[in-house]
Every structure is written in C-alpha cells, then in structure tokens.
C-alpha cells in the first residue's frame, strides 16, 4: 500500500528514518527466501531419511536372501554387507546392492542379462524385474523363477508332497472369498 507521497510501505520515515525505501519489500522477500530455504532443508532431510530407510531395508533383504540360500541346505552361500552369492552344483546366483537406495542387481548362470530387485512402494513388497516382461513379487513367484532358471530346480508341488497349499473349504452354507 502506497503512502501519500507515493513511495510505498516503509518508505515514509518511521523507525527506519526517511530515505530508507524498500525496507518493507526487503523484509517480505527475506521471509520468503527463509521459508524457501527451510522447505528445501526439510525436503533434503526427508530424502536423506528415505534413503537411509531404503538402505536398511535392502540390507535386511540381502540377509533374508542369504538365509534362504542357507535354508536350501545343498548350496554354498557367501554374503557380505552388499552382496549375496549362492552356488549349487557349479552354478551361481548373485545379488548385489547397486547405488545408495533400494536396488539390487541379480546375475546368474542362465540369465543372459542382469535382472533387478527393487522395493515396490505401492505394495510395500520387494519385486523382481526381469530385463523384459512383467515384474513379479520376489518372495512369491520371483525367487522360485530365478532358482528354476539358474539352478534348473523346481519346488515340489505342495499337494504331491502331502502338504496343503490352502486351507480346506469350509463346510456348511457359508461362502468364502
């Protein structure tokens, strides 16, 4: 809002004295710059926190994959902080951390190109991404497909092994989903 003499806010004398033109504008600009810098710092801190959480989740994934390899019982497993190798009958499957977030490169005998594992935020699950084709959830069909391709081993059918893969149907008039 302009004063009577047309010089604008903060221009007509006052505590700053006459001749201090633009002080009101300078204060508003400074507040805007401060707010912008604060927002940028907060966004940077939030990104740092997301990256840290992603690295922790990836480290846990690699530990889970090493435990999976050991649970096979017939494979040799080597693991470091950022890599897991599983060897079985002369063939190998390797999971290696890539970058500083949640990506893992997958290489192995029988895979012409590297695959990758990445956390799917929408599902909050790890997904396996082949070079071509649709992604698969890692701890569902994805890991089984990798083992089949690299080691030429398929899991036994649960029904053939005497296990039930799903609960028996309910008896009575109830419906189930």
Q: How far apart are CA 28 and CA 131, in angstroms?
A: 52
Per-residue pLDDT of the chain (177 residues; tens, 9 = 90+): 544 444 455 444 555 556 688 899 999 999 999 999 999 999 999 988 888 888 888 999 999 999 999 998 889 999 998 999 999 999 999 999 998 778 899 999 988 889 999 888 888 889 898 988 888 888 878 888 888 889 988 877 766 545 444 444 333 333 322
* Whole-angstrom Cα Rg for the chain: 30
Task: List strand residue ranges (DSSP E) for 38-82, in order.
Answer: 76-80
State whether the Cα torsion 62-98-119-40 is positive or negative.
positive
Contacts of 11 (CB under 8 A, 6+ apart): 3, 5, 20, 21, 22, 23, 24
């Amino acid at each position: 809002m302009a004063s009577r003499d047309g010089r604008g806010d903060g221009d007509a004398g006052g505590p700053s004295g006459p001749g201090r033109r633009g002080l009101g504008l300078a204060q508003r600009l400074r507040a805007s710059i401060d707010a912008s810098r604060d927002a940028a710092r907060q966004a940077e801190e939030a990104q740092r926190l997301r990256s840290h959480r992603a690295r922790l989740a990836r480290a846990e994934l690699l530990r889970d994959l090493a435990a999976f390899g050991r649970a096979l019982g017939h494979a040799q497993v080597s693991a470091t902080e950022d890599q897991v190798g599983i060897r079985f009958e002369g063939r190998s499957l390797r999971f290696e951390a890539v970058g500083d977030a949640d990506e893992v490169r997958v290489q192995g005998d029988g895979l012409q190109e590297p695959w990758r594992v990445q956390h799917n935020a929408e599902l909050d699950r790890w997904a396996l991404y082949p070079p071509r084709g649709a992604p698969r959830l890692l701890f569902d069909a994805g890991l089984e497909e990798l083992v089949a391709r690299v080691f030429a081993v398929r899991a036994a059918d649960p029904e053939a092994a005497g296990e039930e893969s799903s609960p028996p149907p309910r008896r009575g008039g109830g419906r189930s989903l």
